[in-house]
Amino acid sequence: MLGILFIIGYLIVNPRHEVEKGIGIASGISGGGYGFIQLTFYGELTLSVLAFIAVAKIAATALTLGSGGSGGSFIPSLTMGAALGGAIGQILSFFFPETGGNPWIFPLIGAAAFFGAAANAPLTALFIVCEISGSYTLFVPALLAIIPAYSLVGKWTIYPEQYDVRKESPAHRREFMVDILEGIKVKDAYMKDALTIPADKTVKEGLYFAEKAGHMTYPVVDKDGKMVGITTIMALEKQREEGADYRKIGLICVKEQDVIVAYPDEFLEDILHKMDTYNIGRLPVMKKAREEGEVSEELIGIISRSDIIREHCRRWSRIKGESS
C-alpha cells in the first residue's frame, strides 16, 4: 500500500519525473520521516509535494499501525505537521514575500503544533521548538499555533493510555506511594499466644482441635513446649483419608529443620516475600536463645497475612489521622 501511495504521488505531483521531488515523496511516505523533515527545514520541497505528503503520511501511518506494523507515532506526527507548516509557509511567502526569509520556521512550528495537539502535550511541543531553534525567539509564535490546535483536538490523543496527572500513571504511581510496611518488623505485628498442637496428639484429635480453632496451620510442640515441626489441616485431612486417624502428629508433621520461620527483627516486607515464595499463609515466629553454650530457637508466636494486614491498616489510620 505504501508503494501504491508513492506511485500515485510520484505520477500526480511529479509528472516530469524530477529526482528531487521523487526523493521528497519517498522520504515523506516511507520510514519515520527524518529525511523529509530535514528537507522541509532546508526549503527544498515544492508546495505540491508538501501538500501531498501532508495527506499521504496520514494514510501511510494509519495503514502501517492499523495492520499491526511498527512505525511509531511521534516522528510521523512531526512529519505531518512539518508538511502542513511548510505548505502554509510557501503560500504565505507567495502573497507576502518578506515572510520567506527562513524556510525552516514554518515547518518547525507546524510540526510542534501538530504533535502538541495529537499527543495532548502542548508544553512538550513548546520545548521542542525552543530546543531545535536554540532560543526562545519562536516561543510566542509557536504558542499561538499550538494553543488553537490543542483546543480543536480536545481530549482526543494518539496516546489513549495517557493519564491526566502523573500520579495516576502506573509507570509513576510508586513515586507517590507511601510504603507503610517499610521499617515495620515482625515483633510489631505477630501474635504472641500461638495455638499449638502437642506432638503426642493423634490425627483425629488434631483435626478436632484445628476445626474448632479455625486456623489452617499449627506449630507442633513436644511436652516441654519446644517446637518439633508444623502441620496443616490439609495434611491432617490427608492422613485421615489414608486411615491414619490414630497416628501421632509428631510422626507425620513437617520437621523443624524444614519449617520456614520468621524472626522478630525481620521486616514485614521480607515476610510477605517468604509467604508468597513458598505459598504459606502463617509462619511460626522463633527467637534465638543460648543454652549451655548452644544456640537454640524458641517458639514465641506466629504471624499470618491477616496480622500484616491488620498492622498495615493500623499504621495507615495513624498516617491519615496525622495528616487531617
Digit-coded pLDDT (tens) for 177-204: 556 677 789 999 999 888 899 999 999 9
At CA 51, angle to CA 47 and CA 53, rounded to 5? 120
pLDDT for the residue 52: 78
Nearest CA to 297 out of 236, 212, 230, 252 is that of 230
Name the burial class of residue 109, with classes exposed (0-12), middle (13-18) and buried (19+) by CB atoms within 10 angstroms of its CB.
buried
Q: Of 14-23, 113-122, 236-245, 273-282, give the lowest mean pLDDT range.
A: 14-23
Ordered alpha helix ranges (H), the chain: 2-13, 19-29, 34-42, 47-66, 74-95, 105-118, 122-133, 139-153, 203-213, 233-241, 249-252, 268-278, 305-323
Kind and range of the H or E element at 217? strand 217-221
pLDDT for the residue 83: 86
Question: Is residue 100 scored above 70 in pLDDT?
Answer: no
Using one digit for the tens of pLDDT, what is the confidence trace for 72-91? 778 888 888 888 888 888 88
Around Cβ 280, how many Cβ atoms within 10 Å? 18
Residue type, 140: V
Nearest CA to 113 out of 132, 102, 100, 126 is that of 126
Higher pLDDT residue, 222 or 9? Answer: 222
Mean pLDDT over 1-30 rounds to 57
Q: Catalogue all structural domains in the chain, each as residue range(s) with its CATH number.
A: 2-168 (1.10.3080.10), 186-323 (3.10.580.10)
pLDDT for the residue 284: 92
Indicate the pLDDT class of residue 324, thresholds 50, 70 and 90: low
Question: Is residue 233 scored above 70 in pLDDT?
Answer: yes
pLDDT for the residue 119: 86
As a whole number of angstroms, the distance between CA 228 and CA 89 comes to 86
Average pLDDT, the chain: 80
pLDDT for the residue 303: 93
Using one digit for the tens of pLDDT, what is the confidence trace for 142-179? 899 999 998 888 777 777 666 666 666 666 665 555 56
Question: Is residue 118 scored above 80 in pLDDT?
Answer: yes
- Distance from chain centroid for Cα 144: 35
